[in-house]
A and B are shown apart, each in its own frame.
Chain A
Amino acid sequence: MTDRTEIFDTIAAQIAPFNKKGVTVTEATTFQGDLEWDSLTVMDFVAAIEDEFDILITMNMQAEIETVGQLADAVAKLKG
């Protein structure tokens, strides 16, 4: 399993507690459109991802991330 796959799987696991609608999570799943998260949920989820990977995802970065795949790419880049 590659690092990128592990990152995606970890993110998917972190999404689960916030996935109230039971949406099937894929690379193309969007946080706002598919998961329908409000800003408070986004805040809690981002904090969970940051703590999981020991990284910081600034609000500037968050504005550019729409899908789970884009988040996985961003995490991979931040982890170096």
Chain B
Amino acid sequence: MTDAGLVAEKLSANPVEIAPERDLMSKFDALIAERQALIDTGVTDPFAIVMQQVTSPTEAMIAGHDTILLGTYNYMGMTFDPDVIAAGHAALDRFGSGTNGSRMLNGTFRDHIEVEDALRDFYGMSGAIVFSTGYMANLGMISTLAGKGEYVILDADSHASIYDGCKQGNAEIVRFRHNDVADLDKRLGRLPKEAGKLVILEGVYSMLGDIAPLAEMVAVAKKHNAMVLCDEAHSMGFYGPNGRGVYEEQGCDVDFIVGTFSKSVGTVGGFCVSNHPKFEAIRLACRPYIFTASLPPSVVATATASIRKLMTADRKRAQLWDNARKLHGGLKALGFELGTERPDSAIIAIILDDQEQAVAMWQALLDGGLYVNMARPPATPAGTYLLRCSLCAEHTSAQLDRVLGMFDAAGRALGVIG
């Protein structure tokens, strides 16, 4: 249920008066009114932030102010890597700006093959398929793998793309309680033994930044003869000896790994890797792969360069974890309630009482020069309101000291901490 918010980013600040008679747009009246009520309180719209200029992986100009970015998914700071940018330039010069069409027909360029090779090398797997986004990767893999009469078993806090992948397919869908190994075991045990089953897990859950007990869950899934797809979108680059994700850190053998280029890789796109001998067949059957345009060559070229550098990014991995420990420890010492007891990931969530407090904190931090994410129901687990910090390996210790100072000042001014 994470990241499943329904708030559009581009709703008009001054919507025209709603027509007296209902039409198809009337169903959005409540959303329009809620957004307007938020704007009327005098705050910046948290869902319409514009980066006027981005000057480094950790800094941008927002509303005319120099701002520290602590709400991007640029965990490994690859967006300004000179080799990555050079690869994009070279691909633009050599292949132009677009790909014309689908991978199945005219949209496969040399760079698509190269990025899939880079993924095979990074994950040490025999198969790799690139999609146009991480969302499309989940949509495609889930709806294609599990068909009529088969079962998808997913964590209740799964990302919206996982839920949408379930809706796109014809399988029976079963939810289990978030990160609850016994609940997964119980529900798998109630399914027909002979039916095909796909268990979907995430290494890191993006709203609270908590990690899954993958080793135990994968063992339970295998006990019930289910295949496992693990989404490692928020862990690629910095978990495990090779940066493959939480599954590598916990020593698990999973059937399919889904990931994205828009986080640690620092560009855009999605993928799935697998050792299954029939994996290539997905290309022939997967609608979100077949019926959409492929990524432009400049994008896949940047992804290739970034992935190859991530394979040996040990210094960045270590720095990111140092940063996570520093921010988590600092916020905890200030008295904030955090989403996880320990710094489990590069995401650190600050739990707040209600929307009013969350918006006030968010606005105070932005005014002070810090951008974090504000999240609220239905995007958050258990209906909580939270501010979400996402760390980058390129955040400096001095920046994090300033961040903690801003949290301290805003938290005290608004009575969030004593």
Contact = CB atoms under 8 A, between A and B. Distances in A.
Interface stretch (A22-30, A54-62, A69-77): A54-62
A43 B183 CA distance: 13
Contacts of B223: none
Contact of B174 (A40, A51, A54, A59): A59
Contacts of A56: 174, 187, 190-191
Contacts of A59: 166, 173-175
A57 to B, nearest CB: 9
A38 interface: yes
A38 B172 contact: no
A2 interface: no
A32 to B, nearest CB: 14
A43 B378 contact: no
A47 interface: yes
Interface string A34-59: 00001110010001001100111011
B261 to A, nearest CB: 30
B1 interface: yes
A39 B1 contact: yes
Given A55-B190, A56-B190, A47 B183 contact: yes
A56 B224 CA distance: 16
Given A40-B1, A43-B156, A60 B173 contact: yes
Contacts of A51: 186
Contact of B175 (A38, A43, A54, A55): A43
Nearest to A54: B190
B222 interface: no
Contacts of A58: 151, 172-174
Main secondary structure of the interface of B (DSSP, over half): mixed
Main secondary structure of the interface of A (DSSP, over half): helix
Contact of B378 (A38, A47, A60): A38
Interface string B169-180: 000111101000
A47 B190 CA distance: 13
A59 B163 CA distance: 11
A60 B172 contact: yes
A56 to B, nearest CB: 5
A68 B175 CA distance: 21
A47 B156 CA distance: 11
Interface in A3-21: none
Interface in B148-205: 151, 156, 166, 172-175, 177, 183, 186-187, 190-191
B383 interface: yes
B382 interface: yes
Nearest to A43: B156
Nearest to B4: A39
B128 to A, nearest CB: 30
Nearest to A47: B177
A64 B387 CA distance: 36
Nearest to B166: A59
A78 B16 CA distance: 50
A59 B172 CA distance: 7
A40 B383 contact: yes
Contacts of A43: 156, 175
B382 A40 contact: yes
A47 B183 CA distance: 9
Contacts of B151: 58
Interface string B372-393: 0000011000110000000000
A39 B190 contact: no
Nearest to A78: B190
Interface in B21-53: none
Nearest to B381: A40
Given A55-B190, A56-B187, 15 more contacts: A38-B378, A43-B156, A43-B175, A47-B177, A50-B190, A51-B186, A54-B190, A56-B174, A58-B174, A59-B166, A59-B173, A59-B174, A59-B175, A60-B172, A60-B173
Interface of B: 1, 151, 156, 166, 172-175, 177, 183, 186-187, 190-191, 377-378, 382-383
10 contacts: A38-B378, A40-B383, A43-B156, A47-B177, A55-B190, A56-B187, A59-B166, A59-B175, A60-B172, A60-B173
- Chain A to chain B: the 3 pairs with minimum beta-carbon distance, closest first: A59-B173, A58-B172, A56-B190
